[in-house]
Structure formats: structure tokens, C-alpha cells
Structure 1
């Protein structure tokens, strides 16, 4: 009987702990840019290329920049969760010509998925609805690669898992009600991308091309959150 009581107490603690925590769903849009970076490797067939690319974000053009995250907040105001961001990166016309490509963009999009650790500071401003927070995450980049070599009869147009990714977040939340909040934040992402450009099937024996580039994005986000 004593053993059964201990098991019941353990089960009660197990289910009572999550009930004391808080689940927050957040969605945001904003303005996103991309730092210049060097793209180097080979085109299909093996021709070497190396170029410092002046990327464009075009966050307000369709498909738009956006993101969302789920955060499980604990009683100590530390949160754990997952986040996905649909960022974008377009090579300029001059960069395309220098690389030997007619198109090269990660526009649907440069997708970053991370597991996050967050920290909020609810007592920073006394008797205030404002709560600052910071966070960081580690995960993977899965961009939609849209690329075509000049003169090629085919086009690379598919999702690729291209490498590790990380993000940093700093923001401020304003509570509208007990459940609903709005927020503004700065967010940066980093990703190391090994991108495959498909060989032209019309060229016998041609090998795939491989381009590597490190992308760093910066964004100012505005969003809304629901907690329960």
C-alpha cells in the first residue's frame, strides 16, 4: 500500500507540473535583409566559381517573409520551443552573370527551423504590461532552391537540407489581455548552406554542381501571441 501511495504521488506531480507551465503560440511578419556572402564551388560539369554575392531580401514581395514559434514557458520564466522562419535571398543580376546562372534564389524560402531556449523578464517594469525577452536557437536550414545555369535545359527547383542554422532574438511583448499579446523584436539567423544545382540531363555524364555560402539575415518583426 505504501508503494502504491508513492506511485500515485509521483503521477500527481508529473501531471501537475505541466499544468503550472504556459504554452505560447506566436506568429510574425516584418522587414528582413541578407548580408553579402561568398558563394563558391562548381557549376554542373565541374566549372569552378567564386563570387561575393550581394543578396536581396525582398521581404515585402510575394512570397512574403514570415515566421512562427511555439514556446513552453516554465515557472522560472525560461522557455523551450520550436521556431520556423520563411526568410528569402535573391542574387542580383550582376552576380548571376558572374556566376554563370540565369537565376539563383532561395525565395520559397530560405527556411530556418530551430529548437529554442528563451528567457523573459516580467518584473523589469513595475506594474507594466511590457515584458522584455531574449532567446537563441540551433537547427537546420531547408531552403527552396531555385537555380538555373545559363543555357541549361533544366532548372533546379526543390527543397534541400543544406546545413546547420542558428538564430538570436531580442524583443518586447505587450499584454493586451491575459491571453493575447503583441510584440516587436530583432532577430538574426545564421546558416551554412551546401547547395546542389542539378546536372542537365541533356548533357551526357554531367555531374551536379555544388555551391557553398554562409547566409546571415537580419529582421525587425511585428507579431501577435496567444498563451494558454
Structure 2
């Protein structure tokens, strides 16, 4: 190997680690969920043991336990990275939904809990310190299922089905390590929930959220 080739190879090896960047992000926000169809079986339910109805959901993002999210991204290049993300969102069936369908409690409130593996794309410092970004991910829902009717009660965490996530936002760099960001995020998750009385409920939840947060990179 010539001295020129050796110098080039050495330079590339030394430069490679410098390209890696780990970014941590934490966010809060406002999250909502449109109506969804709930179906299944609830033995002993005083209204209908084979429920099939449209539920109206409330998010109550700023009531304890609050809505929040955590994201870790390993940037492989300046523009592309892989990561994992956890979001603690919530849904409460409104009073009319519960009363009309025989439920005292029908909610996923600690919480819907979406965990995904993400692919991330960004455009660094596109405009005066502002970096737009997008990500998409696939994963699972791990909700805390809270259901109570005349047929019995259910309370506990379950792995209920697949989930997908898409996000678009903008990060503003305060300095080389800290940034602040705002984003829109959408999740879709399917939930097949086991009930303590031997029944089960199924629904597909969609959440829409506007998030603000802080990021730290090194």
C-alpha cells in the first residue's frame, strides 16, 4: 500500500467515529384520539355481552398521569439515523359511551404506551439554525387496560398488538448540544385486550399530538 493510500485509509477511519451522534429528546404536548369502534365479548355485561359500538375518547393530556414522550436517535450520518421512541398517551371513554354500553370504566390511562423502532431523516441547519426532520416507526402497544362492568373488572398492563408512528417537526439549535423542538405526531395502534372475566375487547386507536420538547446531543 502506498503512503498516499495509507494516509487516506487512516483519515477515513479516524473520521468515521466523529460522524456518529446520539440524540436524546423529551417532550410534552396535547394529544387527542378520534372515535373508534370497540367490539368483543364481556360476559355478564348488563347492557350487551357482545358489545359493538363507537367509543368517543378523551385524551386529558395535562391531567395526571400526563402525556409525554422519550426518543433516542443514533444518527449514522448527518441526515439519517435509527432510534427508539416511547410515548405515554391516554384515552378515556366519555360518560355517554360508558353508560350506554354498560361500562363503569373503559380507559387506557397509564397509558396507551406506544414503543417503536424509528427511521429518522433530517435536514441540518436548513434555515438559520432550524433543522426540519421526519421519522416513521413500527412497534407495539403496551397499554394499562382498565375496564369495569357488571361482568367484572380488569386492571393491568398487556401487549395488545402492533403500532405505527409518523412524526414531522423542526428542531432549533441553542448550541452544539442542546436544542428545542416542536412537532406533529400521529400513531395508529391495534389493541386486542383480554378481560378478567374471560372476555376480550378489540379496537384500533388513532392519536394526534402537537409536541414541544428539548433535545440533547453528543
TM-score by length of structure 1 reads 0.86
Q: Which residue of 2 aligns with 1:179?
A: 177
Given that residues 44 and 198 in structure 1 are in contact (C-alpha distance below 8 angstroms), is that contact kept between their aligned partners in structure 2? no
Structure 1 residue 76: Cα displacement: 4.3
Question: Where do 5+ consecutive residues of structure 2 fail to align?
Answer: 2-8
Q: Which of 74, 98, 114 is the equivalent residue of 1:112?
A: 114
Q: Does 1:54 align with 2:52?
A: no
Task: Rate the CA distance shift 1:13–1:146 in 2: closer, same or farther, 3 A.
Answer: farther
Question: Which structure 1 residue ranges, 5 or more long, are not aligned?
Answer: 3-9, 200-207
In structure 1, the partner of 2:22 is 23
- Structure 1's consecutive aligned runs of 4 or more residues displaced over 6 angstroms after TM superposition are 12-16
CA contact (8 A) 1:166 1:189 kept: yes
Q: Residue by residue, what CA displacement relative to the aligned partner does 1:192-214 show, whole Å, maximum 9, x if unpaired? A: 11011111xxxxxxxx1111100
Q: How does 1:137-216 map to 2 (within 5 A)?
A: 137-150=137-150, 152=152, 155-199=153-197, 208-216=198-206
Verify: 1:43 aligned to 2:45, yes or no.
Answer: no
Answer yes or no: is 1:132 the counterpart of 2:122.
Answer: no
Offset of residue 44 of structure 1: 2.9
1:16–1:159 CA distance, 2 compared to 1 (3 A)? farther
Q: Distance in 1 between matches of 2:129 and 2:167?
A: 20
Choose 14-23 or 73-82, whichever is displaced more: 14-23
What secondary structure, in the 3-state scheme, does the structure 1 residue paired with 2:98 have? helix
> CA distance change for structure 1 residues 222 and 123 in 2, over 3 Å: closer, same or farther?
closer
Q: Secondary structure at the match of 1:161?
A: coil
Change (3 A) 1:44 1:91: same
Distance apart, 1:13 and its partner CA: 7.4
